Amino acid sequence: MFARRKLNQTISITFAVLVVLACFCCVQGATLSEYRHRVSEAIVTLQQLQPAGHGEPSSREQSRQASLARLRELLPAKETVLHEGQTIAIDNTWLHKGLDEYEKSFVSQTLNNEVLVHIGERLLSLGQQLDEMQKGTAAANNKDEDKGRLAEILRRPEYQQKPAEGSAIERLLQRFLRWLSGLFPKSPQIQPGSSRVFSGIAQLIVVAVSLAVIAFLVWKFVPGYLRNRTRKKPKREARIVLGERLEPDQTAADLLAQAEALARNGDLRAAIRKAYIAFLCELGDRKVISLAQHKTNRDYLNSVRERASLHSSMRGLTNSFEVHWYGFVPAGENDWNDFRQRYQQALRTPSV
């Protein structure tokens, strides 16, 4: 009897310790980098839910169930994350609701794809936001440095506003008219009864000579002036696309050549990123999209939503870029060849 009572006390104490340890772990929470790693792993796991045409139905169903269970395990509905001494409450209920909807509508293949694509886009966007949080302090310092450099540039003399001046031809004409008026001093007033014919002829001669000189100057100088104006083209400035600086003379063909070199050296993940930036640069040169430093790959994709064929092709390129670059999925030779083929097909679409 005494032994049983002692055993019950031991079990109670052990259970209490386990509860305290569990509560302590929950309070501690995961770090931001750990949570970011689980988001990347969830993106990879989500790819395994894509429909596949090989394997037995029973094995495919087991793999699907395992992937769903793994997703729920990686990102619980509620959890806390520690970042710079602060506790952040994370709500992943949207993911669990999406997975429930996927399971309920498994009969409709089209609807399944839409649900998976929606979940994948939200996971990729979440990963980008977490990366920005991790680099928040450094980014703030960079912005302050950029503002300082910009203020220093704008203080240079060439950027100071100068009073507007007339063109060289306008100044030359004014100088000629003053010289011409000096050649013909004011004639004395004609007395009544004097000859009016002489006065009219003199006026006609002055007007004819003035018009002839003006016409000669226009014929001599205006064509050359216009040619010089047309030759001046706005100087192209450096661009920043998805965090990469592109020099003023750097073209999409140059970027694609760099991507090919990376692929030959075996760095297929960097090759896909470089080729995607080359694709955006090509669309920018064709005036299809406008490049800007603050825009993300999703912003560029949404800007071509009205061009249905281009949007469909660009969506596949964007998903491949996000999975391999932000999702850290290893890229193989087939992935690179498929990306390069999609690249060429997208540029041949009628809307481009």
Q: For the segment 237-264, what is each residue's pLDDT rounded down to a tens digit? A: 788 998 888 888 889 999 999 999 999 9
Last residue of a domain, one of 104, 137, 170: 137
pLDDT of the residue at 203: 75
CB distance 98 to 118 below 8 Å:
yes
Is 110 part of any domain?
yes
Q: For the segment 153-199, what is each residue's pLDDT rounded down to a tens digit? A: 445 454 344 444 555 656 666 776 676 666 555 555 545 445 566 66
pLDDT of the residue at 17: 37
pLDDT of the residue at 156: 46
pTM exceeds 0.85 for this model? no
Is 317 part of any domain?
yes
* Helix, strand and coil in the chain, % to nearest 5: 70, 5, 25
Last residue of a domain, one of 117, 137, 157: 137
Q: What is the token pair recorded at 240? A: 């920043």
pLDDT of the residue at 158: 40
Closest CA to 115 of 54, 59, 51: 51
Q: Strand 78-83 and strand 86-91: pairing? A: antiparallel
The range of the structural domain enclosing residue 265 comes to 239-347
Phi, psi of 186 (to 5 degrees): -65, 130
Q: What residues of the chain score a pLDDT lower than 70?
A: 1-29, 50-57, 106-113, 136-173, 176-177, 179-200, 228-236
Is 84 part of any domain?
yes
Is 78 part of any domain?
yes
Is 176 part of any domain?
no
Is 81 part of any domain?
yes
Last residue of a domain, one of 109, 137, 165: 137
Q: How many separate domains does the chain show? A: 2
